[in-house]
Amino acid sequence: MKPEENTPEENKPGEIVSLLLKKGLLTEQNAAYAMRVKSKLSSDKTLIDTLKDLKYINGDQIKEVLRTNHLSLRIGDLLVELGYMSRAKLLTALNIQETQQGKRLGKVIVENQFMTESAFMDALSVQLGFPFIDLSIEDVSPKVIENIPIKWCMANNFLPIKQVKGKTLIAFADPFSKTDIQGAKKLFGNNMIIGIAAPNMIEKKLERLCSGNLRPKTIVDENTAIGIVETILGNAIDQGASDIHIEPFEERLQVRYRIDGILVPFKMFPINAATMVAARIKILCKANIAERRRHQDGRMTYEHKGNSLDLRVSIFITVFGEKIVLRILNRINQILELDHMGMQPKMLARFRKDVLNAPSGVMIITGPTGSGKTTTLYSCVSEIASPQISIITAEDPVEYVVEGISQCSIDPKINLTFEETLRHIVRQDPDVIVIGEIRDNYSANVAVHAALTGHKVMTSFHTEDSISGLIRLMNMDIEAFLISSTVVCILAQRLLRKVCPHCPEVYTPSSSDLKLLGYGPDDMKKYTLLKGRGCPVCNHTGYKGRVAVYELLVFNEFIKEAILECRSSYELRKIGLETAGLVTLMEDAVSKVSQGITTLEETFRCIPQLLPPRPIHEINRLLGVS
């Protein structure tokens, strides 16, 4: 902003200089000298700038004196003194104000284009030190306005925003209006921080608050960042997405959802929305809003249709700006009963009898990221939860809240580490300990030792299949006899997309697909295979929803012996298949293909092929599929 020329009759100290003199920040001699210097200058420098040039005062001192004394100063004089507008323009503005009774000077100045609104806001916030509140990205905290008469706010042109360190941050249209400040003081006393926001935005928000109930209703209006973010989050939750990707490109902001494990496009927004959207999300997840050059992360709670959801936010800097990924942690109705998880009849019966009903021992669920381990873990926990037993968890983070059990979210930022939590967990007299994930020797040892002392331990692991889970455990510095005497089972799993129920079609597998399975041309003939044609319901993918496929390795005497003898993975797998009734991931998937639940394509996409599957009728017999 360029200072404007001042007329010569102003060669007397203004209000700010008088205040500086009064506060002893400036001497009379220095002020007089600066005035003489200024009168000799041909440029249009203000007295304040001259004082700064002479190093008699600095910008911070000015801000400080204004911040602490602003209630006694007049805004027009300040703008002139700081060089934002000329005395002549101020006089015109004051004349106009007189004819328009009750109108604030700031409004007159902006309306008559003596200054732009942004320059005016800038003057107040940057120069005078009032925090500027951008209401297009900042929301009103419901708590703050809960018991506030909105009509009173309207009458006094202010809007309470949120609590900041025990004080209420309040947006004023004119922070120099004594009546407005007094009006707010009646409600908040001295416990407030005076901020400034665009007057029309304050008005709009107040009207919105007033028209509906007293709680703020976020209007889904795609012209504001709040509206865009609301649209993105609300739709994602409605569509059952697990992740939201917001990516800036050269000319557009792309939003995609991960639904059933696959990214699907949601919407494009103009690229100029990117910064606003990022700022809004940063406010929600308490990240640093000013930081735009470094990766950041955060967490937020989001209310949607009466449900409270937790989201984990990651902000990553790309060449085109900030890419934001939000993970939706506790999705609505995500905890399924074990009966509806897709475990086939005989496997489910065995899992209940040998694993869930066992009084102690370690149960491990294994699979890569996104294979649904956590969902299965929670289903198991909610199946065994009862008032007679105590269940306690250490998770990173808690993804679903289950009623009646004690869950702890690991938070390394505050030094609430896995180690620390596990040390304390055993002293809590639990019957069942849930360890979100075994990721090092320490947690593996805790699991095994807790089982040894009679606890039931449920945990997950990050390996391809059940046998490789076992091998990894054997390589973790745990005595073989400890593993063989404590681990009850390893359950490997994957999620396969289900054929869309709205557009299924019968299909015949190609001979190359059959060859991949080691099957002949007739081996699948008796079964009705289905595939989705693609329709609007399934986003034209042919798939809707997902089903889990499982590989359950229950530790019998033969397996235990093989562990003690440190057998190879090939031998362990063979023993499992021959003696422990093991059905591989591939076999469970092929069985589900034969039932028209999923497709061969999906099977090959997701399942590692280690051994060729046995004939379908044999698999279905082992699984109890009729």
The residues that touch Zn ion, with contacts defined as CB under 5 A, are 500, 502-503, 532, 535, 537-538
Starting from the edge strand earliest in sequence, which strands make up the sheet with 456-461, in order? 406-409, 391-395, 432-435, 456-461, 361-366, 487-499, 543-554
Token representation of residue 229: 């973010």
Amino acid (one-letter) located at 415: N
Instruction: Considering the complex, state which of residue 342 and residue 532 has its C-beta at the smaller distance from Zn ion.
Output: 532
Q: For residue 343, which of 576, 625, 600, 601 has the smallest C-alpha distance? A: 625
Instruction: Considering the complex, state which of residue 148 and residue 535 has its C-beta at the smaller distance from Zn ion.
Output: 535
Measured CA to CA, the distance from residue 407 to residue 598 in angstroms comes to: 35
Instruction: Considering the complex, state which of residue 535 and residue 610 has its C-beta at the smaller distance from Zn ion.
Output: 535
Query: What Å distances lie between residue 92 and 31, 77, 80, 116, 278, CA to CA?
Result: 28, 13, 13, 16, 41
* Three-point CA angle 271, 302, 200, nearest 5°: 60
Starting from the edge strand earliest in sequence, which strands make up the sheet with 167-172, in order? 158-164, 167-172, 192-196
Shortest separation between residue 499's beta carbon and Zn ion, angstroms? 8
Measured CA to CA, the distance from residue 210 to residue 219 in angstroms comes to: 14
- Kindly tell me the burial class for residue 161, based on how many C-beta atoms sit within 10 Å of its own C-beta (0-12, 13-18, 19 or more): buried
Give the pairing of strands 158-164 and 167-172.
Answer: antiparallel
Shortest separation between residue 538's beta carbon and Zn ion, angstroms? 3
Instruction: Considering the complex, state which of residue 379 and residue 599 has its C-beta at the smaller distance from Zn ion.
Output: 599
Shortest separation between residue 496's beta carbon and Zn ion, angstroms? 16
Q: Tell me which long-range contacts 301-309 makes (C-beta under 8 A, separation of at least 24).
A: 302/233, 302/237, 304/233, 304/234, 304/237, 305/237, 307/332, 309/237
- Per the DSSP assignment, residues forming a β-bridge with 563 are none
Shortest separation between residue 256's beta carbon and Zn ion, angstroms? 19
Measured CA to CA, the distance from residue 269 to residue 255 in angstroms comes to: 8
Instruction: Considering the complex, state which of residue 19 and residue 538 has its C-beta at the smaller distance from Zn ion.
Output: 538
Instruction: Considering the complex, state which of residue 95 and residue 528 has its C-beta at the smaller distance from Zn ion.
Output: 528
Instruction: Considering the complex, state which of residue 252 and residue 502 has its C-beta at the smaller distance from Zn ion.
Output: 502
Shortest separation between residue 242's beta carbon and Zn ion, angstroms? 20
Shortest separation between residue 403's beta carbon and Zn ion, angstroms? 35
Shortest separation between residue 506's beta carbon and Zn ion, angstroms? 15
* C-alpha 105, offset from chain centre: 42
Give the pairing of strands 391-395 and 406-409.
Answer: parallel
Instruction: Considering the complex, state which of residue 167 and residue 502 has its C-beta at the smaller distance from Zn ion.
Output: 502
Helical axes 15-22 vs 28-40, angle rounded to 10°:
150
Helical axes 557-564 vs 569-579, angle rounded to 10°:
170
Shortest separation between residue 547's beta carbon and Zn ion, angstroms? 16
Shortest separation between residue 371's beta carbon and Zn ion, angstroms? 24
Instruction: Considering the complex, state which of residue 205 and residue 544 has its C-beta at the smaller distance from Zn ion.
Output: 544
* C-alpha 278, offset from chain centre: 12
Query: What Å distances lie between residue 237 and 246, 270, 331, 452, CA to CA?
Result: 15, 23, 8, 42
Instruction: Considering the complex, state which of residue 267 and residue 502 has its C-beta at the smaller distance from Zn ion.
Output: 502
Shortest separation between residue 241's beta carbon and Zn ion, angstroms? 17
Instruction: Considering the complex, state which of residue 45 and residue 531 has its C-beta at the smaller distance from Zn ion.
Output: 531
Shortest separation between residue 497's beta carbon and Zn ion, angstroms? 11
Is the dihedral angle over the CA atoms 82, 85, 90, 91 positive or is it negative? Answer: positive
Q: Return the residue nearest Zn ion (CB atom).
A: 500
Beta-carbon count within 10 A of 187 CB = 18
Shortest separation between residue 534's beta carbon and Zn ion, angstroms? 6
Instruction: Considering the complex, state which of residue 196 and residue 538 has its C-beta at the smaller distance from Zn ion.
Output: 538
Per the listing, tokens 């700031």 go with 106
Instruction: Considering the complex, state which of residue 463 and residue 599 has its C-beta at the smaller distance from Zn ion.
Output: 599
Give the pairing of strands 158-164 and 406-409.
Answer: unpaired
Amino acid (one-letter) located at 617: H
Query: What Å distances lie between residue 536 and 257, 315, 503, 547, CA to CA?
Result: 16, 32, 10, 21
Instruction: Considering the complex, state which of residue 119 and residue 535 has its C-beta at the smaller distance from Zn ion.
Output: 535
Shortest separation between residue 172's beta carbon and Zn ion, angstroms? 54
* C-alpha 229, offset from chain centre: 12
Instruction: Considering the complex, state which of residue 83 and residue 532 has its C-beta at the smaller distance from Zn ion.
Output: 532
Measured CA to CA, the distance from residue 621 to residue 626 in angstroms comes to: 7
Phi (first) and psi of residue 461, to 5 degrees? -150, 160
Cis, bond preceding 397 (omega within 30 deg of 0): yes
Shortest separation between residue 508's beta carbon and Zn ion, angstroms? 20
Shortest separation between residue 237's beta carbon and Zn ion, angstroms? 21
